[in-house]
Copies of this chain bind each other. A is one copy, B any other.
Amino acid sequence: MEEIGFIELLEKKFNMSFNNKEIIEVALTHSSYANGRKNIKFNERLEFLGDSVLQLCISEYLFLKYKSKPEGELTKKRSLIVCENSLYHVAKKWNLGKYIKMSKGEEITGGRERTSILADCVEAIIAAIYLNFGYEKTGKFIIENFEDIIENAIKNRIIMDYKTKLQETLQKDGDVSIEYNLVKYEGPPHRRKFYTEVCTEKNVLGSGVGYSKKESEQNAAQDALMKLNVKVSML
């Protein structure tokens, strides 16, 4: 029973004792495992809850620690911290892949390494901890486990050049011209928001908003990469 191994690992490493171990087992169960099996709960509902717990915890941490940073900067930092890549990074630290229950089919096609499966599972585990111990203890757990990611986000060490990544991705299959079109902007000069679309000759690939043209372009490129299902490693 590998998932027991993970529960023990969690309990030991983070000094906690679960009343409700079943929830952690559910958190470690991917939806594919429930296909064709009866009465199996899987982690999607927990992921829904865990995402919000993580979001509040990181928001509060940034809000309290960076009292002079404006909202726009806090939002930017948070989006670097609360994202699939960060969750994936945490999953890898925990060696989570080997503990997840999934279907044989999912496993054969690389499920144990799949970014989305690992990231979603981390969110589900956060929810399971939240339901066992409440917000305060879960907050400490999150900060402890995301410390390096938070640190890197704060110090701008996370290099997220999505435009370069998008260009590399598209040009794998030959020369493609990519254009960034400013669609509109709004707001007063000191808080102006820019809306950009990234396009090839034929298609709009993504759109992004930002407080500078550059930022809106990066966000459009990130959106395009997500829509193209390209994983961007950030750590």
Contact = CB atoms under 8 A, between A and B. Distances in A.
Interface of A: 31, 44-45, 47-49, 51-53, 55-56, 59-60, 63, 69-71, 74-75, 127, 135, 183, 186, 191, 195, 197, 203-204, 207, 227, 229
Contacts of A69: 45
Contact of A49 (B52, B59, B135, B183): B59
A48 B31 contact: no
A62 to B, nearest CB: 8
B71 A47 contact: yes
Contacts of A195: 227
A179 to B, nearest CB: 13
Contacts of A71: 44-45, 47-48
A191 B31 contact: yes
A104 B228 CA distance: 46
Contacts of A51: 59
Contacts of A227: 183, 195, 207
Contacts of A52: 52, 55-56, 59-60
B70 A44 contact: yes
A48 B59 contact: yes
A75 B13 CA distance: 32
Contacts of A127: 63
Nearest to A139: B135
A135 B229 CA distance: 36
A186 B31 CA distance: 15
A21 B75 CA distance: 25
A112 to B, nearest CB: 18
A186 B114 CA distance: 15
Contacts of A183: 203, 227
A235 to B, nearest CB: 23
Given A197-B204, A204-B204, A70 B45 contact: yes
Nearest to A75: B48
